[in-house]
Amino acid sequence: EYSLCLNILLNVLMKETLSLKNDSKRRIWFILDEVQTLATASAGMEKVGRGTIKKLGEFLSESRSKGGCVVLATQSLEKLEDVINKNNLMSLLQLLSTKIIFQYDSPVGAGIISQFIGKQKLEREKVSVNTTADFGRTTTSTSQNESTEDILLSSELNTLMPLEAYIKYSGYPLTKIQFEPIQTPKMVEEFIQRDVPFFTTAPTEQKKKTVFSEIENDELEGLY
């Protein structure tokens, strides 16, 4: 029931946002953690959730002029791929202008990230030195070797430390960043204990009788 309500609510909110007039100063934030759970299999929501996530892709491409801002998070790209297939997953990632990638252990998910970030062409200079037998003449030759490699290797994702990440912003190269933890000040007491008169003053036997009688009354009321 919860998953169904969430899908309906999200679809209504996206539709209402797209119906607004264009406004470059407006900001309407949609923050969805573990987005793949919209299609929870246990609740029989696969088709509904799959449709909602696909609608998110359309919303990303159309909502910017309305002030729509979307933050998507997942710890399982492979599950998200199972829900919307690989092509739709790549399209969804393309529509997100900023990608922040933390430590990722799964080989499948790391491969998806590496493939999406792309490849780079490398040119390496190779120098060969040859010495001939006659007169000990030495000749040097230089050649250029070109190769193509992944910009971000799966092994680089596996070895990221806590608070380290890679950021990919549209139009800029991949960059490694580090976050600093923020120690927020303590504003209020986490738990304020107060005395409940009955439990602090009544004898133990009286407490037991009272609690048991309340349980029996609740059970009897449930029968009628």
pLDDT tens profile 114-171 = 888 887 766 666 767 676 666 556 777 776 677 778 888 888 888 899 999 999 988 8
Q: Per the domain annotation, does 87 fall within a domain?
A: yes
Q: How many domains does the chain have?
A: 1
**pTM, full prediction:** 0.68
Q: Per the domain annotation, does 41 fall within a domain?
A: yes
What is the per-residue pLDDT for 222?
46
What is the per-residue pLDDT for 102?
93
Phi, psi of 72 (to 5 degrees): -115, 140
Q: Per the domain annotation, does 79 fall within a domain?
A: yes
Whether the CB-CB separation of 131 and 138 falls below 8 Å is answered with yes
Which residue ranges of the chain lie beneath pLDDT 70?
Answer: 1, 41-44, 121-125, 127, 129, 131-137, 143-144, 196-224
Q: Per the domain annotation, does 206 fall within a domain?
A: no
Torsion, Cα of 157, 163, 165, 168 (10° steps)? 160
What is the per-residue pLDDT for 187?
85
What is the per-residue pLDDT for 223?
42
What is the per-residue pLDDT for 21?
94
Report the distance separating Cα 176 and Cα 168, nearest Å.
9
Report the distance separating Cα 157 and Cα 104, nearest Å.
5
Q: Per the domain annotation, does 6 fall within a domain?
A: yes
CATH code for the domain of 50: 3.40.50.300
Range of the domain at 109: 1-118+153-192
Report the distance separating Cα 164 and Cα 149, nearest Å.
23
Q: Per the domain annotation, does 126 fall within a domain?
A: no
Q: Per the domain annotation, does 223 fall within a domain?
A: no
Q: Per the domain annotation, does 197 fall within a domain?
A: no
Sign of CA dihedral 169, 93, 54, 47: negative
Q: Which residue has the tokens 């406004």?
A: 23
* Six-digit token string for 224: 């009628």
